[in-house]
Structure 1
Amino acid sequence: MYPTPKPSLKPNTYAYESTPLVKPTGFREYDARWLLEKEINLMGVQALGLGLGTLIKEMGVKPEIVTGHDFRGYSASVKMALVSGLLAAGCKVHDIGLCITPMAYFAQFDLDVPCVAMVTASHNDNGWTGVKMGANRPLTFGPKEMTRLKEIVLAAKFDLSGGGSYVFVENFPERYIADLTKRPKIKRKLKVVAACGNGTAGAFAPRILEAIGCEVVPLDCELDHTFPRYNPNTEDMKMLHAMRDAVLMHKADVALGFDGDGDRCGVVDNEGEEIFADKVGVMLARDMSALHKNSTFVVDVKSTGLFLTDPVLKANGVKVDYWKTGHSYIKRRVNELGAVAGFEKSGHFFFNKPFGRGYDDGMIFGLAVCDMLDRSPDKTMADLRKALPKTWGSPTMAPHCDDEKKYGIVDAVVKHFEELKKDGMRFASQPIRDLVTVNGVRVTVEDGTWGLVRASSNKPELVVVVESPVSEARMREMFKAVDDVLRKYPDVGEYNQTI
């Protein structure tokens, strides 16, 4: 018998040390995230491992799993607690040690293992922990699997048959690096800033870029789990500004920034301009669709409207599908449609054959940018940026909103906009042209200016993005109009960053 997890316990008590703590809201739409000690303890992580092993067997999947951990001070301990639960549930565990998330996804293919459990809090601040899971490569869990996992864990309905086994796979990063770099070197001499925010990618990104022929300028590549300069988040303006300064100082061709677990990448061009990942996606779609005409690309609802209006993509016969934000959602959609690639504004990029295996990998994203520049020897990254039709877009902005309340507020906001459109009302000074409600609400008005509100899938926040093809003033007008709607709800707090 295993104790039933509790939703709250105080640290440094007998109960905390003898009872699993698992806050229910940590089971998110497509992965798991908790504040360690406050929302989950190590015994709770063990319960998660038991639940995951139980679910794998319930799904009829071979109980064999790859696991690894990112470079946070507590991640190795969290992983071993997870492993103990997986073993008790009868799983064979292949531990690849310290790694980035795409390395764990690659291991599923390289080791021929069906399941994965990567211990990482991704780009979340220190104090957070979490697990990205899957049982059908290259896909990761979605709401259905996460809901069932939550039910199993919170009810302590575990398969305790035991019989698990453990193997540590030595030097696995070398296999991953070899797989990415067994290719021709680029012909163009590129100086690349590799920015890692002192996160896990710092151990691997500079080596990978050097191996394909780049001159690499390392920026914050020393592993330091305290993240002394800024959080390794490629949407964080602090990180992007540090990349800008390094590009200008070293006269580099481009800066590539990798998040804490290496599955996302951000870009700054040779003039020091931050190019949000959705715009880089348009640039890569131009490059890739020139090689593969009539390609399909999947993009998330936070992304620029240029995917539908760009004349080069139209000329290349590109088909675009706007889908739900979230690495599991986009990954599944890319797989369902047989798309060449999927792009998220957050910097998750998913490359299908012939470029990748369908999962998100910040390193492959970085190599794709280098290849694009290599195929455009007479153009700089800034030239490629300037070749796009001009739009004014915001970074991803996140006002605080408790996990227990955020979905209800978003539902109310969606209803508000549906009623506005039904009644023929104007928004941000213009008639509403279109609403996309596949993931929150994206409202587009007559001149193409749009705003998005959705619930964050991995933090107690809402997500707000705005863009205008007309002017910066229209972008700001849209943000004010969207924010005015959100301010009607007292539970919506301050933003992490705004325009």
Structure 2
Amino acid sequence: MFPKPKPVLVPNTYAFESEPMVKPTGFREYDARWLFNKEINLMGVQALGMGLGALIAERGVKQEIVTGHDFRGYSASIKYALISGLMAAGCKVHDVGLAVTPMAYFAQFDLDVPCVAMVTASHNDNGWTGVKMGANRPLTFGPEEMTRLKEIVLNAEFKNGGGGSYQFHENYPARYIADLTNRPKLKRRLKVVAACGNGTAGAFAPQVLQAIGCEVIPLDTELDHTFPKYNPNPEDMEMLHAIRDAVLEHKADVGLGFDGDGDRCGVVDNTGEEIFADKVGVMLARDMSAIHKQAQFVVDVKSTGLFMTDPVLQAQGANTVYWKTGHSYMKRRTNELGALAGFEKSGHFFFNKPFGRGYDDGLVSAIAICEMLDRAPGKSMADLKDALPKTWSSPTMSPHCGDEVKYGVVDAVVKHFQALQQQGGQVAGQRIRDLVTVNGVRVTVEDGSWCLVRASSNKPELVVVVESPVSERRMHDMFEAVNVVLRTHPEVGAYNQTI
């Protein structure tokens, strides 16, 4: 009988080495994230593996699963603890070794395996660990599966399945890279900065881009799990500014930045200007809908309003649906609607056939961006960006807010704006034109300026984004208006970055 996990254990004690510790808040909406040795220990990870194996069996799915791990100093040990739990539950485990997350997703198709459990904390700071899971390719778990997994693990509803086994797939990255690069080479010789923040993508991104015909300028591609320069997150301005400097120094055509587990791609144009991922999505949607008429796209509620108002997309018959933020939500909605692609402001892009298999892969996104430039001879990345209608957009801004209270704060903010709309009140000097509440609240006023507040799905934070099609001043007005509301809640702390 495997013991029931405890929510807290004191490190460097007998109990810590003899019992599983799993903090309940680590089970997020669509994946799992914990501070290693503070919120989960290795026996807790083993319990997670046993619980995941039990859930797979309970859902009637074949107990066969792909695992891999990202490049952090402790990820391999966490993966092996997870594997021991999966095998105890009766799973056949296919280990692809050190990997970017989309390599594990690819292996589900390539090895014909239904399930996946990728050990990664993505772009979270060192100290964090986590697992991205799925049992129905190309989808990953959503709230229903995560809630049931939490129940199984915390209540120790384990079943000793027996018959578990393990297979390591040697040199697996070569198969992934061959699949990505099995395409015609670019006609245009693009000079590309490939920035990886010393994360896992550094082992793969440069050679993939070289293989499709790019001249590659590597930036922080040496693997170093201490992340000595900055966290590998292409939404953070520190990483974007490092890419900008390299683009300008080398006179590159584009800078591409990959997050810690390689499922997202950030973009800097040839002038050194950062292009937020939702604007990159509009550019790609223009390119793709010119080839595929009546194309449908899915975008998250953090994304620019241009997906609805862009005259080129309208003329090409493109249709766009806004949906919940989060890679699992977006992946699922893109799959359900059979959309050509889904675009998330964080940089998770989901390409269905003929561009991809429906999962998020930063290298597939990078290839799509290079091919878009290849189809626009004589035009630079800045030209394509400047052809979009002008809007002023903020980066994603995240004030600290504890996991235990953040959803309550967001519920209160939603009710505030709903009441304000009913009363005919104003936000930043204008009446509310529209409220979208599928994921937090997106408030749009009469001139098209909008603000979003939602709870982060994987960190103890809120998420705030603002945009205006009118002016930079109106963007700041919207931020000030929403920040006044947030400051009425003492649980909301300091921002990671602001405009």
- Normalised to the residue count of structure 2, the TM-score between the two structures is 1.00
Partner of 1:492: 492
Q: Deviations over 1:18-75 (max 9, x none)?
A: 1100000000000000000000000000000000000000000000000000000000
Aligned partner of residue 464 in structure 2, secondary structure: strand
Q: Within 5 A, what are the aligned runs for 1:128-167?
A: 128-167=128-167
Q: For residues 412 and 223 of structure 1, what CA distance do their matches in structure 2 show?
A: 43
Amino acid at match of 1:310: D
- Structure 1 unaligned blocks of 5 or more: none
CA shift for structure 1 position 162: 1.9
Q: For residues 183 and 344 of structure 1, what CA distance do their matches in structure 2 show?
A: 25
Q: Within 5 A, what are the aligned runs for 1:158-177?
A: 158-177=158-177
Q: Within 5 A, what are the aligned runs for 1:75-224?
A: 75-224=75-224
Q: For residues 432 and 471 of structure 2, what CA distance do their matches in structure 1 show?
A: 18
Aligned partner of residue 15 in structure 1, secondary structure: helix
Aligned partner of residue 217 in structure 2, secondary structure: strand
Partner of 1:468: 468
Q: For residues 417 and 10 of structure 1, what CA distance do their matches in structure 2 show?
A: 43
CA shift for structure 1 position 161: 2.6
Q: For residues 155 and 210 of structure 1, what CA distance do their matches in structure 2 show?
A: 50
Q: For residues 161 and 401 of structure 1, what CA distance do their matches in structure 2 show?
A: 40
CA shift for structure 1 position 189: 1.1
Q: For residues 294 and 420 of structure 1, what CA distance do their matches in structure 2 show?
A: 37
Q: For residues 465 and 427 of structure 2, what CA distance do their matches in structure 1 show?
A: 16
Q: Within 5 A, what are the aligned runs for 1:254-403?
A: 254-403=254-403
Amino acid at match of 1:143: P
Partner of 2:233: 233
Aligned partner of residue 404 in structure 2, secondary structure: helix
Amino acid at match of 2:124: N
1:60 is the counterpart of 2:60: yes
Q: For residues 447 and 15 of structure 1, what CA distance do their matches in structure 2 show?
A: 60
- Structure 2 unaligned blocks of 5 or more: none
Q: For residues 119 and 326 of structure 2, what CA distance do their matches in structure 1 show?
A: 18
Q: Deviations over 1:156-190 (max 9, x none)?
A: 01011321000000111000000010110000010
CA shift for structure 1 position 378: 1.0
1:428 is the counterpart of 2:428: yes
Q: Deviations over 1:374-429 (max 9, x none)?
A: 00011000000000000000000000000000000000000000000011111111
Aligned length: 499
Q: Within 5 A, what are the aligned runs for 1:11-30?
A: 11-30=11-30
Q: Deviations over 1:349-370 (max 9, x none)?
A: 0000000000000000000000
Partner of 1:48: 48
Q: For residues 292 and 173 of structure 1, what CA distance do their matches in structure 2 show?
A: 31
Q: Deviations over 1:88-141 (max 9, x none)?
A: 000000000000000000000000000000000000000000000000000000
CA shift for structure 1 position 449: 0.3
Amino acid at match of 2:166: Y
Amino acid at match of 1:327: H
Aligned partner of residue 403 in structure 1, secondary structure: coil
Partner of 2:478: 478
Partner of 1:413: 413
CA shift for structure 1 position 316: 0.5
Q: For residues 321 and 124 of structure 1, what CA distance do their matches in structure 2 show?
A: 29
Aligned partner of residue 388 in structure 2, secondary structure: coil
RMSD, matched Cα: 0.3
Q: For residues 249 and 156 of structure 2, what CA distance do their matches in structure 1 show?
A: 56
Partner of 1:456: 456
Aligned partner of residue 47 in structure 1, secondary structure: helix
Aligned partner of residue 97 in structure 2, secondary structure: strand
CA shift for structure 1 position 203: 0.2
Q: Among the aligned pairs, what percent are the same residue?
A: 80
Q: Deviations over 1:240-293 (max 9, x none)?
A: 000000000000000000000000000000000000000000000000000001
Q: Deviations over 1:282-337 (max 9, x none)?
A: 00000000000100000000000000000000001011000000000000000000
Q: For residues 354 and 6 of structure 2, what CA distance do their matches in structure 1 show?
A: 47
Partner of 2:246: 246
Q: For residues 480 and 10 of structure 1, what CA distance do their matches in structure 2 show?
A: 42
Q: For residues 437 and 200 of structure 2, what CA distance do their matches in structure 1 show?
A: 36
Q: For residues 93 and 180 of structure 1, what CA distance do their matches in structure 2 show?
A: 24
Q: For residues 187 and 239 of structure 1, what CA distance do their matches in structure 2 show?
A: 29
Aligned partner of residue 371 in structure 1, secondary structure: helix
CA shift for structure 1 position 464: 0.1
Aligned partner of residue 404 in structure 1, secondary structure: coil
Amino acid at match of 2:106: F
Amino acid at match of 1:336: E
Q: For residues 252 and 161 of structure 1, what CA distance do their matches in structure 2 show?
A: 54
Q: For residues 247 and 178 of structure 2, what CA distance do their matches in structure 1 show?
A: 28
Amino acid at match of 1:103: M
